[in-house]
Structures are given as C-alpha cells and as structure tokens.
Structure 1
Amino acid sequence: MTSAPRSFPWWLVGLFLAIFSFFTDDYIIAGILPDVAAGLDVSEPVAGQLVTVFSLTVAVATPVAGFVFARTDRRRLVLSAIALFVVANALAAVADGYAVLVGLRVLAALAAAAALPAIFAAAADLAPDDRRGRYLGSLSVAVTGAVAVGVPLGAWIAVTWSWNATFAFMAVAGVVALATVGATFPRVEAHPPTPFRDQVRVLASRQISAALVGGAAAVMGGILMITYLAPYLVALLGRDDVRAPVFAVFGVAATVGVFGGGWSVDRFGANRTLVGGMAAFIVLMAGLTLLGFAAPIPLLAFVPLVVVWGALAYWSATAVQVRLHALAGPMTAQALAMNSSLGTLGVAVGAAIGGVVLDMGAVLLLPLVTAVACATGLLLLLYAFRGAGASGDPVLQHASDDHSDRTDSTDSTDSTDRTGDPT
C-alpha cells in the first residue's frame, strides 16, 4: 500500500524568505560599500563596520533570544520580528547620518536575532521525521543564498538608483516575507526551553564546538573578501566601473556552486565535498595573492577567476550542514541556529579585520588573509567531522538520555537524514 502524498510545505518557503531577507540585509553592504561611504561622508573601512555592527548584534542576541522568547507564540514572534525588520529598513532608506544608520542596523539585527531561534525550532517541529535534516538544511542554505543572490542584486540597485534604494528594497523583501509567513505559517505550540545544561553540552562537545568555530572561521575568510570586493577590484584592475557586473557574475556562479555542492554531497559524500571544495578555494585565494603583484591586470583575465571563486565560495556549505546534523542528533535545531549565530560572528570579525587591512593600505593582501582563515576553518572542520561519516551517530546522543522518547525517534531520523541535502 502506498502512502498518501504529502502536501508541499509552503510554510517552509515563508521561513526561507525570512532568513534570506535577514542575512541579505547583513551582507548587502558589501555590494554598496563605496556608495554608502560617499553618501555618508565616511571612509570605506568605517562604512564596512556597518556589517560588523549588524553581524555582532545577531551573534550575541540570537542565543539570548532563544531563552527569553522560548515560551512565546512562535507565529506571533516571527511576524512581529519581520515587521520590526521592515520598519528598520524603511527608515534606513531615508537615513542621512552614519550614527542614525548604525542605530537602525542594530534594530534590524535585533529583529533577525529574535526570529532565528523560533524559525529553526518551528521548522524542526513541523518537518516530517524523515525530512527534518533536509528542511533545516534548506533554511541554512538561505544564508548562503543571501550572499550569492542578495549582494549582487543590492549592488545593481545601488548602481542603478542609489544606496538608499537598496534599503528600500530590503524593506520590500521583508514585506514579501511577512505576507508569505502570515499566509502559510501555522500556529506551533512553544515548548519549554531545552535545559541549559543540554544546550551547554552542544557547545562543550569538542567535535560540535570545533565544527561551529571552524565554520565561523571559513565564513570569516569568505565574507572578508566579499565585504571589501569593491576596493579590491580598484586595486587589482585599476578601474571602478565593473563592480556591478563582477558581483553579478560572482552571484550566478555562487548560486550554481551552492546546488553543485549539494549534488556533490549526494554523489561523493560530505567529507570529500568539504575537503575538495575548501582546499580548491584556499589554492585560488593563494593564486589571487600572487596575482596582486602583477596589478593592474586585464578584466578579461580576471572574469574566469571570478567564476571559479563564486562556484567554490559556497560549494562546501551543504556538506558542513549535513555533517553538523549528523553530529548534533537531537540537538540539530539548536546546533543549526548556533551555526548561523557564529557564522554572523565570523562575518563581524572578518569585516573588522578587512577594515584594518584596508587602513594599512594592503588591500591586495585580502586574499592571503582569506586563505589563512579558511585553512584554519578546514583544519577545525576535519577534526570535528573525523569518524562522523562512518556511522552518522550523533556525538551528543547522551544529551538526550533524559528524554528517551525523543531519542528513539531521532535515532531513526538520523539514519535517513544524513544526506538531507536541501537541493
């Protein structure tokens, strides 16, 4: 007897759009950095700290929000947070001072931080047992998609209209997410918060903490280059009229890379995808470092490297998510939420370090800093995931011993969800 067909999870589309909007708002400054700096009469390194402010706020506030709002109705919480996000960006579109824009960035970041734990927890509760990893992974891919699609789109809007219009676009994106979530997201009863001791075990486990820190280091390196791509292009190519098309090429290639990495996980396994993708990316960054000594270089020589760069930038993202899911077991929702939180911390640190490199006048050394950060991340991820591919047994299985009824269902889920790739 065949099972009844499942209805399409439209609620997942709404949550995907919400996360995509939140993280696009974080990264979009990268594509409009020179425009924001000129418009606010500040230097590009100072303008780049708008990324740091947003990311650091999300990184710090997300775990706190998970505890504070644990018993709040999730539908009401997510809708309220998106509404606040829309207001913050609408006001940013008419802001005319740096200090005001910083405050509005903090407000938008607090809205994102309030919603993220509720979104991941609700997705874990609403997903079928045999698709939980896939559904949660697809939400995490919204983060990478924000860079792959959102940043080039923001750059195009800024070049076509103005940097203020980019924030207006983010407000509109928030309205679309708000309408979709409002129409599709069911009421989900808020469960009592996971005991603090169990949440600490997620971070205290050597493998989980190494995976989270390693992922953050890799994100730090990747975003560092993207945040300051505009001044890097000027230094490497000797021209300032190709920013929008270069971002567009990067975005298309990165989108292909996200889905190509998911295919690679299914075809070759998460470990091979992770090592191959990150190692190739590190080699490319080393090559760009050497290429800086030949600056300025022709645009036609650089475009193929942008294609490879974009494709490799997020090739390993799905592999990390699948392995993290296998390790976290019953703590998957918390681990993925913390992965997003630490990823934004990596963005904040990367933007800050990139600003220092820019102030030193060493913009052509940004690829070298990226290579070192990503190599550190790869080593930590290899340590975290060693042995995880053989059985997929969660290293935190003992954390659910006090909840045996949850453990039984999770054990069966892990065996089918290990390859839960969002593509």
Structure 2
Amino acid sequence: MPAWLFALLAAAFVLYTDDYVIAGVLPEIARDLDVSEAQAGQLVTAFSLTVALAAPMAGVALARVSRRHLFTVSFVVFVVANLLAATTTGFGPLMALRIVAALAAAASTPAVFAHAAERAPEGHIGRYVAVVALGVTGSIAAGVPIGTWIGGQYGWRATFVSMAVAGIAALVFVLATLPREHGRTGEVPSVSDQLRTLAGAPVLLGILANCTLMTGSMMMLTYMAPHIDAVSEASVDQRALAFSLSGIAGIVCIWLGGRATDRWGADRSLVAGIIVFTGVMGILAALWFARPVPFSVLVVVGTIWGGMAFWNSPAIQARLYLLAGPVAAQALALNTSGTYLGVALGGAVGGMTLSGLGAGFLPAVAALLGLGALALLACAIGASKRPVRGETTAADVA
C-alpha cells in the first residue's frame, strides 16, 4: 500500500483524537478555568456539533479546491487553534478555539476518506478506506490515553500543545507523500446537481441508516460502564479490560469489514454487520434477566459488539463513494455530519434510557435502533436499484 495512504491514516488519527482527548483532561480544565465539569464537557459537545453542521457545507463549498491546498490550510488552522488553546486563560476563548479547530476538522475529515477511495485500485476501495478508518479506532485506543497521560503529567495545556505538534507532523507526512493534483474544476458538478444527488433516496437514506446505527453503538459505548456494573459484579480493572478488548476488536473488524466490502459488496457487508450488531444487542438485553452474569460471558459478547460497531465503517464509506460518483466527497462530508450527530444522539438517548428505564434497557433500545437502521438501509438499497429516466442504476454497489 502506498505511503500517502498511511499519511491519510495519520491525519484521521490526529483529527479524531483532538475531538475525544478533551474527555481525559476535563477535571483539570474545569478546575483551572473555574467552571464545573459539566460545563467543561460542553467543549466536546460544541466540537461534535460544529463538525456535524459544517461538514456538509464545507464539502459543497470546497469541492473545487485541490486536496493538497485543502489539507494545508485546514491543518494550519488546526495547529494554530490548538496552540492558542494552550495559552488561553478563559473558558469562553477556549470554547471559541475548539469551534475553530472543529471547522478545520469538518473541512478535511471527509476529504481524507474521499481521497483514499478515489485513489484505490479497482476492487480495493473497502480496504483502502479501512486503513484510513483505523485512525478513528486508533484515536480511541491510543490517542486519547496518550493525550490524557500528557495532560496528567504536564497539565492540560500540554495536551493541546501535543495536538498541535501532531497536526504539524501529519501535515508534513501528507504533503510529502500525497500525489499532486492539477485542479479539480472539471470534475465538479454545479451546486444544484450536487444537492440533487445528495438529497436522492439512495444516498440520504443510507446516511440516515448510518446515523441511526451510530446512535445505537455510541449509546452503548458511552454507558458501557454502568451497564457492566448493573449486569455483572465486575471490578474496575475488569471494566478497563472490557473497554480495551472492545477497542482491539474494533481495529481488527475495521480491516475485516473492508475486505468483506471488496469481496461481498458494500450493501451485503452492511446488512451482515447490522444484523450481527442487532443480534448481539438482543443477547445483552436477555442477559439482564440472568444477572449477575459471569464477567467472562459478558466480555465475550461485549468484544463481539465492539468489533461489529466498527465493521460497518468501510462499507458505509465505499457505498456512498460508489453511489455519489463525482460528488462522492460531498456525500462523505454529509455522512461525517450524520456520524457526529449519531454520537451526540447516542449520549442523549442513552442518558434518557439510563435515567428513565435503567441500565438493563440500554441494549434493548440499541437493538431497536439497529432494526431501524436495517429498515432504512433496505429502503436505500431498493431506491438505488430503481432506474431513473436518463440515469443508470446503482445496482453495482451490491
């Protein structure tokens, strides 16, 4: 695989770590800036919502900008925002700088995945996208713990400095390896044609399916600890092991999901992944009635869930790339928005479920969301196979 593909992996790793790493140093930020931890937590919310809102608009507005220029400007903004965040003495300025960093991430994250898909050899789109997607799971498995350790040893400001340094390193890696382009103006349809494709049922329903699935996945990830406590008599160390194994399974299954996408097609891979995810949620829901469940049983089921939560990522990206054609980057930007929205909704829906029904109902609600995602995907697949006057069908996606 080419060096530029691993540069894109590094870029994704840095961008996603920057979003998640704040969670590890929230107490220190809250104490130093004299705000509550709940208020400090809104730094994460603001970042995610900014990306969700800005990514689709950036995808359309920046469609004609070369990728090298896009990555250069966005990462420079990203680096400056993190360096200034390390020097700020007020919560308001810090919030503003997190929004600026999120705008940079919104502009560049979809392009990272789009470039990998565009440059992939025939029959290898899933695997190339999977390599870049490893940056997402890697940010959770390694980026956040490293950033948290740096914050614990040298203060939360050092965490922002480390993110700026990582951003510089990623940009240098990208510019040193990314193939040069000679302009993109001839490839990009008009704004009205872009919007028509993005609003079409095959694309839009698929993005809604991903958002629904992300809501179910993230509500379980966010509230995994209270669910384990409610179902099993697990210790703190055992809970940490459960999170670790889920992350490792996610890394493995992203790669396997990419290979499955290339072998089976994006639609079949997605259907299989959603069915397994929903089934595992059903098993976890049933285990509530057999509590206390031995931790060995719970960790096996939870590890399978952790893997399947990430299995679908390459298939989703590859499906949108194949369907959207010349507006693939814009479709991936809209999907980025749906993903971040799913993360935000997962926290909200999971919180309401936990406080209203109890931890035992979390998997049941996640299973219902999985069924909803499967229904939306079925509608999207059906729509992609219906011929439209003057156009070809997208049946080859499956």
- Shorter chain as denominator, the TM-score bin is 0.7 to 0.9
Count of aligned pairs between the two proteins: 388
* In 2: Cα distance, 1:54 partner to 1:161 partner: 21
* Displacement after TM superposition at 1:72 (Å): 4.3
Structure 1 range deviating more: 379-388 or 214-223: 379-388
Partner of 1:142: 132
* Displacement after TM superposition at 1:383 (Å): 1.5
* In 1: Cα distance, 2:253 partner to 2:366 partner: 18
Task: Return closer, same or farther for 1:309/1:134 CA change in 2, 3 Å cut-off.
Answer: same
* Displacement after TM superposition at 1:109 (Å): 0.9
TM-score, normalising length: structure 1: 0.76
1:208 to 192, 203, 212: 203
Partner of 1:407: none
- The letter for the 2-side match of 1:151 is I
Q: Deviations over 1:10-43 (max 9, x none)?
A: 333323321232233334556x4xx625762677
Q: Deviations over 1:92-118 (max 9, x none)?
A: 567787655543332221111122455
Q: Give the SS at the match of 2:55.
A: helix
Contact 2:215/2:345, CA 8 A, preserved across alignment: yes
Task: Return closer, same or farther for 1:64/1:352 CA change in 2, 3 Å cut-off.
Answer: same
- The letter for the 2-side match of 1:300 is S
* In 2: Cα distance, 1:303 partner to 1:150 partner: 22
Are residues 1:254 and 2:250 paired? yes
Partner of 1:157: 146
* In 1: Cα distance, 2:19 partner to 2:80 partner: 16
Partner of 2:81: 88
Task: Return closer, same or farther for 1:69/1:159 CA change in 2, 3 Å cut-off.
Answer: closer
Task: Return closer, same or farther for 1:177/1:331 CA change in 2, 3 Å cut-off.
Answer: same
Q: Deviations over 1:314-354 (max 9, x none)?
A: 22333333333333334333322322232222222223333
* In 2: Cα distance, 1:68 partner to 1:387 partner: 27
Partner of 1:5: none
* In 2: Cα distance, 1:141 partner to 1:352 partner: 30
Task: Return closer, same or farther for 1:205/1:247 CA change in 2, 3 Å cut-off.
Answer: same
Q: Give the SS at the match of 1:188.
A: coil
Q: Deviations over 1:255-281 (max 9, x none)?
A: 111122233334444444322321121
* Displacement after TM superposition at 1:140 (Å): 6.6
Show the 5 A alignment for 1:207-246. 207-236=202-231, 237=233, 239-246=235-242
* Displacement after TM superposition at 1:245 (Å): 3.0
Contact 2:277/2:308, CA 8 A, preserved across alignment: yes
Instruction: Percent identity, please.
Output: 40
* Displacement after TM superposition at 1:310 (Å): 1.8
Show the 5 A alignment for 1:17-416. 17-28=10-21, 32=24, 36-37=26-27, 40=30, 49-90=42-83, 99=92, 101-116=94-109, 118-119=111-112, 127=119, 131=122, 134=124, 138-139=128-129, 142-143=132-133, 145-154=134-143, 156-157=145-146, 160=149, 162=151, 164=156, 167=160, 169-192=162-185, 193-236=188-231, 237=233, 239-292=235-288, 297-358=293-354, 360=356, 362-386=358-382, 398=390
* In 1: Cα distance, 2:91 partner to 2:357 partner: 23
- The letter for the 2-side match of 1:284 is V
Q: Deviations over 1:113-135 (max 9, x none)?
A: 1224554665576x37x54x745
Q: Give the SS at the match of 1:194.
A: coil
* In 2: Cα distance, 1:190 partner to 1:280 partner: 43
* In 2: Cα distance, 1:90 partner to 1:77 partner: 20
Task: Return closer, same or farther for 1:120/1:273 CA change in 2, 3 Å cut-off.
Answer: closer
* Displacement after TM superposition at 1:74 (Å): 3.7
What residue ranges of structure 2 are gaps of 5+ in the alignment?
A: none
Task: Return closer, same or farther for 1:351/1:325 CA change in 2, 3 Å cut-off.
Answer: same
> What is the alpha-carbon root mean square deviation over aligned residues?
3.8
Contact 1:221/1:371, CA 8 A, preserved across alignment: yes
* In 1: Cα distance, 2:124 partner to 2:386 partner: 16
